[in-house]
Amino acid sequence: MPKDYIGVFILGAAIVLSIIGMATYYLVKSLKRAKEIGMSSATVKNAVKSSAIFSILPSIPIVIGVGVMMSYLGLSIPWIRLTVIGALQYELLAMDQVGITKVIPTAELIGTAAIIMTFSIVAGPIFNIVAFKKLQHKLVDLEKNNKRLLDTITGALLGGILAGLASHIIIGAFFTGNTSSEDGINTATNGYITLITLAISMATMAVCGLLITKLKWTKLENYALPITILVAMGAAYALTFAF
Amino acid sequence: MKKSNHIANENLFAESFHKSGRIFTLICLILISLMPVIYCISAGVMPIWENILKAMPFMLSYILIAMVEIFSYAPLLSVGGQYMAYITGNISNLKLPCAINAQTITKTKRGTEEQEIITTIAISVSSIVTTIIITIGLIPLSIFGKDIVDTLKPVTPYVIPAIFGGLGIVLLSRYFKLTIVPFGIMLLIALAMFLMGKDYGQSTMLSAGMVVSLVSAFILYKRDSKKLKITQEKREELYNEDEDDLIAD
């Protein structure tokens, strides 16, 4: 594993503290505002609890991502990169722009990869500083003048996320089938397991929905999605031994 | 009076989030950008500028994707949520699903302040939990290293289907009319792409899905507006006829 430097770890700690500070500030402000406008404490508690539970499982692959990248970049750089803006797939692509997975990683290569990983993805935060306020004001105006259009736009965007991701997952899985192989950084993805995981996740959520609506198991509402992810991931893990 | 106070407070609330969001973003951005600098200074090396120039097309493509994404996510994330999500990342696979889940559970209505608050709470909590888990994760990673990675790595590609299968059912039940056409179109696009032996990746497909979905929704919106207009005109005609009849009587 490449050498880590204390300075980078100290910087990582500062980034983690800043993020936790930012999130805590927004959380406290939102909780106060919820109280001011008379939102019930049960609703707010539900939001906090369900969001905390929901976030646990999808965070584990991010930790694994740190583990995958540490062979090439050491521990501190992947820790910082996967704590901030970006996602595992992006980071893997970005770091391999210098071909780091094909050679013994030198400090020069790691420094170069770190620059590419950092600066390819900063457009979003820069936009937020410069122009997000204006964009948000435009959205508020649109909501006042034509709520139906804004509702259509938000619904379409959510539908678009589903359409884009689901089509890539489904068609990609059919083409991958049982043939995908590990290439060093990307994990082998079996198309059949992908499709079965997707189907199990859909079926589990459908069952939860039925239990909530037909049998009035309202307490299940808060845990339906975390349970769905847990069941689907458990099945995927078992299936990796079968295929 | 009470309502106008409420709206004024709501605006103040959003404005304070903009102000703090910009400050936090700037601080985090500076810290994030310092990482390669501190690494190079600590290691006593200079980056290979030639490789950075070679990576320019990659960097530009991600700037373009980021611009499409930022316009697309803005109406879905709250003000605070947008600032946080663009610092902590993992938006499509973690922050947005988490926000949708919280909105669904609390049954808040779109465009309301309640939804704005719930979304901010969801993304704040998710950011804290994820950041802590990743940091704690460094301990087993530094002790067990590759063993723990080898054990859990095979299951990592299946997180997205595990999340989006369940979430897909929720979104389909809510936005069936808006989702079904773009889904069909995106399936055909994905099929064509894979048949040509290309895979542009999930983030490109996600952006393409949003664009296709917006176009299809706009066509639906125009058609529905036309229908609404015709119904309104018919109603007015009937109303006028009734009035004429009454006058005649």
pLDDT digits (tens, 9 = 90+) for A131-158: 999 999 998 888 888 888 888 888 888 8
**Looking at the domain assignment, is residue B91 inside a domain?**
yes
ipTM: 0.86
**Looking at the domain assignment, is residue A156 inside a domain?**
no
**Looking at the domain assignment, is residue A84 inside a domain?**
yes
| Domain count of the fold of chain A | 1
B17 touches chain A (CB under 8 A): yes
pLDDT digits (tens, 9 = 90+) for B131-162: 999 999 999 998 887 787 787 778 888 888 99
Give the per-residue pLDDT at B146.
76
Residue A241 binned pLDDT confidence (cut-offs 50, 70, 90)? confident
Q: Which residues of A touch B27 (CB under 8 A)?
A: 18
Does residue A212 register a pLDDT over 60? yes
Does residue B62 register a pLDDT over 70? yes
Are A94 and A116 spatial neighbours (Cβ–Cβ below 8 Å)?
yes
Contact: A84, B88; criterion CB under 8 Å? yes
Residue A4 tokens read as 């880590």
Stated length of chain B = 249
Nearest CA in chain B to A157: B210
**Looking at the domain assignment, is residue B20 inside a domain?**
no
Give the per-residue pLDDT at B151.
79
- The sign one gets for the Cα dihedral A15, A21, A26, A27 is positive
**Looking at the domain assignment, is residue B15 inside a domain?**
no
What is the distance of C-alpha B96 from the center of its chain? 5
Query: Residues B188-195: what's their mean pLDDT?
Result: 94
A199 touches chain B (CB under 8 A): yes
**Looking at the domain assignment, is residue A149 inside a domain?**
no
Tell me how far apart the alpha carbons of residues B117 and B233 are, in angstroms, rounded to a whole number: 40
**Looking at the domain assignment, is residue B78 inside a domain?**
yes
Give the per-residue pLDDT at B44.
96
Does residue A114 register a pLDDT over 60? yes
**Looking at the domain assignment, is residue A207 inside a domain?**
no
Contacts of A211 (CB under 8 A, 6+ apart): A217, A220
CA-based diameter of chain A, in Å? 62
Task: For residue B155, give its domain range.
Answer: 59-248
Query: Residues A226-242: what's their mean pLDDT?
Result: 91
Of A140, A148, A164, the CB nearest to B205: A164
**Looking at the domain assignment, is residue A166 inside a domain?**
no
Please tell me whether residue B100 adopts helix, strand or coil conformation: helix
Q: Please give the model's pTM, rounded to 2 decimal places.
A: 0.84
Residue B30: other Cβ atoms inside 10 A? 10
**Looking at the domain assignment, is residue B236 inside a domain?**
yes
| Domain count of the fold of chain B | 1
Q: Which residues of A touch B86 (CB under 8 A)?
A: 85, 124-125, 127-128
Tell me how far apart the alpha carbons of residues A89 and B202 are, in angstroms, rounded to a whole number: 9
Give the per-residue pLDDT at B198.
86
A102 touches chain B (CB under 8 A): no
Task: For residue A82, give its domain range.
Answer: 1-130
Does residue B243 register a pLDDT over 70? yes
Query: Residues A2-31: what's their mean pLDDT?
Result: 96
